[in-house]
Chains A and B, each alone.
Chain A
């Protein structure tokens, strides 16, 4: 990478301020265009037929009657989407998930789709498609799926990572192991050992905007896709690969996004819309209903986790061990592995071992959800840490501080840490007034730590300076959390202009180089790096233009405080040239002024947070209420602090919902019982207190401004913080998320008997 990303300890003028968000007015007035807001002349309406069975062989599909329905223009099944994945298992999983091939693997799995001139025609056609199913035994529970007598979903899955290799297929796709030291020897040194099993239920990202797109395939092999996504370049590649299109001939434009949180990181219905459009020869609009989103787009894993931790009486952990079982839906992935990597990451452990088991079940294909897999692992590990602190008689913050990871610690997932921020978040928690505030009746306090890997990735930015000196930046990372505001601040900072003179837009895939998705907390981290680089390239152009304007050598010109200045006494009388001055003369000094940058942003650095929670429990009903919540997290440098606070609060709110209420509930028939927001309860504003935040700024050495990603880590501690708070409130250790009123009440009643 030619760009020097080393941290430079500079004084900021724009970065760190809180200007109004550029997309705010459009969003609150309804002018913002989301996925479902695009329309094309002659577009058709698509509807998807989904399996009512959790597991069934598809013996045949008869679409003849549906095709005869007036207004129906195209029907597609898996036969219209041949397997072009060439042995790429991850891509095949996406294809099979978009349209079931030999078997329907879960309730809601797509089996056919219709495009018609209107919704009623499409719905009428769906009812006339006859699917001949052979219903098969199913399994949805992670522990049940691992039993020897469980129905096997895929007889080509033989557990990887075990010796000797198994001779029979099973639902356990992979075993992974991390750690170091000797846990048995460590436990032998322990005075006290806590050992407990935990479960977490499947939760959905719960983005407010369902998946939506308009696809238009042309006869010449070109195509357009307007879509709600976290990564339109990745969607372009997914669709091109699955449908045999040339990537450069498929133009994908991302809409505003009403939340993604990992759930919009690969395609779900978009290839189906394109396949319908290709067959019909007309544009096709496909919008998933909320029920379809729940049944057939990626939730997070359900888990079953065993934890064992031992410590000496003076508070030193001697060994920690966890076995983590994660569902991945019907297709193998790496969710358990991520859980195994993250479970004990906050701690300096001499002896640690984690084992992950990836388990396929008849549930929807799991997708990333904000720091994927880490919240469940942290729930189990941090619950056990809290219980151990209590057994020893130590304050939970002090116990964590006594065992905290620091620079030089070998992490539980392998590498030795460089400079990290978990210690400062714990110190801040210890000093925070929240920790010492009095509790009311029936209230409990809990705290917990969380860890996540952030990452960067391929990134590209165009910066164009208009003749009036205002600036447009075109970026390829979808703005899911305020990056247009933070990137505009960065342009203002680099060029020395006003924030209001910068307009940031998300370019489509035909007008900018490839960009990875907005995931891994990388949006502002990566794109700010490319934007700084592009701005500095533009400054070089402006220096050259100033040299032409003044007719003096380039090396006599330097850039300072947003102006080209002439160096030395020879040129001392020249008034500095502003961006506007230089831009006004661009037409006669060489043409348009632009800066461009393409780079790989790496070195994001790992991220830690500590959360504190007070909760009140009604022992008669099991109902609980969060009365106070504090998030402490390192941002490296908060470019737009209000947005950083928003990320902290949003992650906490989602974690609270997951901890207290959110849960996929399946019937004995393997069908999802609560695919709607009435029965799948996410928190709304009135459910939550104002979530306090404390931003720590420990500069990231691998970013010019010290920026770290902040999007994901804040969802990691809440499950454990809530569970610890509830456990302290009721005097019972709660080990099954969500801690819904029935579950709390059942625990209270069981304790009475």
Chain B
């Protein structure tokens, strides 16, 4: 890669919102609560599957202080999806604001808005509901069984794009592709495996649970302040569900306390909007942690069959992947998550025969949704475990097997064209790929060479090293759009307005850096405002690892347009041609050294002096590629053979995200994702009773890692230059979570010879594995 002479990007500039956040200034949704706001509470279904035979809200309505009670009988019945995706959505329309049927413990039954949280709570309890219980469907296997109860039997349930949708069979989505013939390749192969893996449900656990506030303003428009990743989709879907025109709705996204995909869901905007619309009072709804676990969204669990085959030389000849995901009670992201299990994993290794099927099934369990990694996390666990298993069969170092087969710069994969999001994909050749270097540097940092065979290890505590390779994407090609607008102020500062959604990721800072670099100023001169559907241009929002890559390109383009206008004004002021001028450090210089003007001079001239106009630009960007970031992860674990306890001793993540626009924030994304992934691999899990009720809906019994659990962590950014990205950037936010499950599974095997194909890796599973050894 040619060394670029960056001034603002690729530098750890000050994060724009760091100081007010550190000072605890009012920045989040609930901080803006007006004194006259009502508090909303929801009534949840106690049953996993039931018909609401009758519901009596009269006692609740009569309670003093109660202003509004909503249930299926008094709101519009509009089938929609909460998935918060582009229009028309790839997720089925199978959800209503309230329905006559409940489909999981924690499904919505009714909502109340009242003067105090206590009154709201009491009113919720005063609603009398009579249920007719139906048999619940609590697993993938039960959902697919012949004659299984149908979860979505309502006539409105439908797919709104041409994709397979078979609710009568509890199937929310199907997708697949074939290149060559995996069966045939398997038949004659000297090395092959056909294994099944299971990866579990988990929650995003944002520090700020879902929170939404709405009021009707003086003009009679509905203003929704909400903790969302997708303000524009939230506006569209809230209007759709409430059956009011989009122009009646304004959505504002303030600071967000983390989303990780959970807040791509348009979960509360419709009901809070409706409560405010009906009561004509501001209404605030804040999820509790328990509600966030049960009635928010989760990672889709998947059962995955992997088939691999290699020829006598150890060259991979076939990769087959069959994924069945559990989307829970509703089909939010059902199709696209399982599709990404193929499209974000299969292109990584070259093989002449490739097979993929993805099926998403309905069950009466909490609803799946977008979660960092988005299907790739699930499939990477299965495939990267299987690759290690095949390497052992062949008798080759798993690092070498990966190095020999992974995709390289200039190459393509038939998977890219075959699998899109609800339609065919987009063919693309890999531009930048630093995976070889990631593998090399990562192996060195972990000490790959010292890795021995588990059969030779002795003693109570045994250490092992495992690795995996990963890819993701950067935005959804030819679907996602991001736009940005820039204008110049009279002191030489600039307003950057974007629909792009900083949810704690630092994207406001990253995009300000891109604007500053493009214009030729510093990032502290860029005043960022995001996101507000009345004020900022459209953006699909923060998902699919898109903001830096996609919106970044729109910002870059707007910045270049601004630069051109500045040069034009300066040329007029300096009586030169624009081509004879150059911009450095917020000043315009004549190349011949004859003079200079500052940005402030230019701005004042453009606004007050002559030929006045507003220096401003707006740009939109769509991508025709989704360049994958790549990573190699390495884990060293220590297994206590006395107790089965697993400790991650050291974790190395080497990531190629192109140019890291803000290296510190990029490292933070990697480290956050890795910690997120380690506790997903080891301690996080949903426990249900036989009636489908979650048993551990609090941090007391659902354990995410604390700082004291953090292993030694080495984060390596491997710079490459992605030509299609802004200043060479690709995405970085999701990829990191995909590594810990396979890297730790492979490390556990290397330590004690126990191959865990079901996550999470609890001490008990290790123990059962050790028992089998001894038997």
Whether chain B is bound by chain A comes out as no
